[in-house]
C-alpha cells in the first residue's frame, strides 16, 4: 500500500490545495492530508476546525484521510509508514523554501521522499493568506475556497471571533 502525506497549515484550505489533493490522491493508495501548525504563521482557525473543513471538502475522495499533528513531520512519516511527502509548488517564490524543507527532512530521515506537484495555472495566484486578506476587506472569496470554508469564515465574523 502506497501512502502519501500532504502536510500544510491549511488556514484555511483553498481550491488550490484541493486541486493538489485531487491530483495527489490518484498517485497513491491512501493520501493523508496533515494539518500541522506553522509556528511562524498566526492562524485564523484551530487545528481541529481546519481538519473538519478539510474533511467536508474531500468527502467525495474515498482514499483521502485527514489528520492533525504538532510534532516533526519526519516523525509522523516514520511512524505511519509513509512513502512520500507531497508539496505544491506555485511560483519560483515557493521553490527556495520548499527545496530547503525537502532537503532538511531528508537529512532528518533518509527515507523521507518529497514529491512536488506543480500548481494548475488557474490556482497559481491562490494562497490562504490572500483569501483571508480579500475576506477581511469584504471581497467575495467564493471562487477561491470550498463552500464550507466560506460559511465558516462568515460565522467567525458573525460570532465576533475575528
Residues that bind ligand ADP (CB under 6 A): 8-10, 14, 16-17, 20, 38, 41, 87-88, 90, 94, 119, 123, 126-128
Q: Out of 9, 17, 25, 50, which one is annotated catalytic?
A: 17
Nearer to ligand ADP, 125 or 136 (CB): 125
Nearer to ligand ADP, 14 or 105 (CB): 14
**12 preceded by cis ω (within 30°)?**
yes
Active site residue 79: no
Nearer to ligand ADP, 42 or 159 (CB): 42
Work out the angle at residue 50's Cα, subtended by the Cα atoms of residues 95 and 37, and round it to the nearest 5 degrees. 50
Q: Which three cell numbers stand for residue 41?
A: 504563521
Active site residue 47: no
Determine the Cα–Cα distance for residues 76 and 5; give it in Å rounded to an integer: 9
Is residue 31 helix, strand or coil? strand
Question: Hey, which residues are catalytic here?
Answer: 17, 41, 90, 128
Amino acid at each position: 500500500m502506497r501512502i502519501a502525506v500532504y502536510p500544510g497549515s491549511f488556514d484555511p484550505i483553498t481550491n488550490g490545495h484541493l486541486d493538489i489533493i485531487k491530483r495527489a490522491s490518484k498517485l497513491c493508495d491512501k493520501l493523508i492530508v496533515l494539518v500541522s501548525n506553522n509556528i511562524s504563521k498566526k492562524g485564523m482557525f484551530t487545528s481541529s476546525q481546519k481538519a473538519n473543513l478539510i474533511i467536508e471538502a474531500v468527502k467525495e475522495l474515498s482514499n483521502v484521510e485527514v489528520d492533525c499533528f504538532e510534532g516533526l513531520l519526519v516523525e509522523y512519516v516514520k511512524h505511519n509508514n509513509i512513502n512520500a511527502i507531497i508539496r505544491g509548488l506555485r511560483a519560483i517564490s515557493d521553490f527556495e523554501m520548499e527545496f530547503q524543507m525537502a532537503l532538511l527532512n531528508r537529512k532528518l530521515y533518509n527515507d523521507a521522499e518529497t514529491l512536488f506537484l506543480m500548481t494548475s495555472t488557474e490556482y497559481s495566484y491562490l494562497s490562504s493568506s490572500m483569501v483571508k486578506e480579500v475576506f477581511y476587506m469584504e471581497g467575495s472569496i467564493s471562487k477561491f475556497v470550498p463552500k464550507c470554508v466560506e460559511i465558516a469564515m462568515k460565522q467567525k465574523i458573525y460570532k465576533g471571533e475575528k
